Amino acid sequence: MTMDGDPARDLDRLIESVYADAFQCDWQAFRESSLQALCEWAGVRGAAWFVHVRDHRHGEFARWPAAFPVSDTMLATLSFGIAQRERMIATTRGGAADVCVLAIDHRGTHMRSLLALPLDSATVDRPSLRRAAGHLAQAASLALRQFVARDEWLMHMGRASRGSAALVDARGAIYVASERFGELLALEFGERDVAALPFALPAGPADGPVSFQIGSLHFRLQAQGGLFLLNARRPHPLDVLSPREQEIARALALGKTFKSVAREYQIAISTVANHASRIYRKLGIYRLEELVELLRRAVDAKAA
């Protein structure tokens, strides 16, 4: 990012660049590029950034450059008073406090950012620095919301099984959630605006998604960098079917013939017929029209 020496214009360029990165970069790349831009603008040798859900000691950590001497442990163990927004810490054992830590709450979420910078060489004033840090935190919220909003966008495009997603950590702290996710939690557990899930997560998936059920809700958990993407949905009539039976049931409900389904899945027509027989038996139906109606009602219920 190019600076021209005019403080107001340089700050505007920094703010513009971090919001652009929030849209264009993934979560990890966004934090590192934004920290680098902040350091170059402020004229400091490095910075560290700890994003966590308030009242939780675990969070997402980034620093630039990699050798900057502030760790996630140093920031995670800091406490702030009710109105306190700054603290000084020492980066060497027994040394003088030489790094300022700014605490910024993310509007509309339960998240808080702790931003650590050495201000001894800073070329900007403290109000400008706090303004920049505030925009950095809000751009971070935007980057995370953009990710879960993809599911809401898919729902509006007709993917009724999507639209309910949250980014959480392994301990269940909610960083950001779609509106639909909050609605489902409220319907099932009686609470909507919560900082943590009202249940424990299964062990984090290593190679692929993990599906599980809590109460009447079905969940799908998948690693997303240092966090996890958690999708939630209401029960679906096809849940009693195997994955392949679900595929064939949807294909038949769309009006595809046994022959076209067999060609699509590279199986014999007789195999499709056997699948159809099991599908009808498991769902307690006898005609294709009943299958179509069953799926139509399920879509209407999810859209309601």
* 141-187 pLDDT per residue, tens: 988 887 787 665 555 544 545 568 899 998 999 998 888 888 888 98
Question: What is the pLDDT confidence band of residue 198, given thresholds at 50, 70 and 90?
Answer: very high
% of the chain surpassing 90 pLDDT: 35
Reported pTM: 0.73
pLDDT digits (tens, 9 = 90+) for 77-112: 898 888 889 999 988 876 777 899 999 999 888 899
Structural domain of 299: 237-303
Residue 301 has pLDDT above 90, yes or no: no
- The answer to whether position 23 is within a domain reads yes
Q: Is 157 inside a domain boundary?
A: no
Q: Give the model's pLDDT for residue 157.
A: 44
Is 200 a domain residue? Answer: yes
Task: Please name every residue paired with 56 in a beta bridge, in sequence order, or none if there are none.
Answer: none
Among 233, 263, 293, which residue terminates a domain? 233
Mean pLDDT value across the chain: 85
Cα–Cα distance between 147 and 116 in angstroms, integer?
26
Between CA 200 and CA 202 the distance in angstroms is 7
Distance CA 100, CA 118 (A): 6
Q: Which two tokens stand for residue 254?
A: 């769309």
- Write the CA distances from 252 to 12, 183, 248, 288, 294, integer angstroms: 56, 32, 6, 8, 12
Is residue 172 domain-shared with residue 276, that is, in the same domain? Answer: no
The pLDDT, as a whole number, for residue 3 is 58
- pLDDT confidence of 290, banded at 50, 70, 90? confident
The CATH number for 109's domain is: 3.30.450.40
pLDDT at residue 93, rounded to an integer: 74
Would you say residue 36 has pLDDT above 90? Answer: yes
Closest to 77 measured CA to CA, from 63, 95, 56? 56
| Of residues 49 and 278, more confidently modeled | 49
If asked whether residues 218 and 242 sit together in one domain, one would say: no
pLDDT at 255 over 80: yes
**Last-in-domain residue among 145, 179, 198:** 145
Domain end residue (candidates: 233, 255, 275): 233
Q: Note whether 213 and 100 are same-domain residues.
A: no
Domains identified in the chain, total number: 3
* 81: three-class secondary structure by DSSP: coil
Residue 65 has pLDDT above 50, yes or no: yes
Of the given ranges (44-53, 106-115, 186-195), which has the lowest mean pLDDT? Answer: 186-195
Specify the pLDDT at position 218: 84
Give the model's pLDDT for residue 82.
85
Q: CA 50, CA 130: separation in Å to the nearest integer?
A: 16
Buried-exposed string 217-233: b where 16+ CB fall within 10 A, e elsewhere = bbbbbebbeebbbbbbb
**According to the model, what pLDDT value does residue 5 have?**
67
Average pLDDT, integer, range 51-63: 88
Q: Per mean pLDDT, which range of 53-57, 229-233, 268-272 is the poorest?
A: 53-57
Lowest mean pLDDT among 71-75, 282-286, 287-291, 296-300: 296-300
User: Do 198 and 254 reside in the same domain of the chain?
Assistant: no
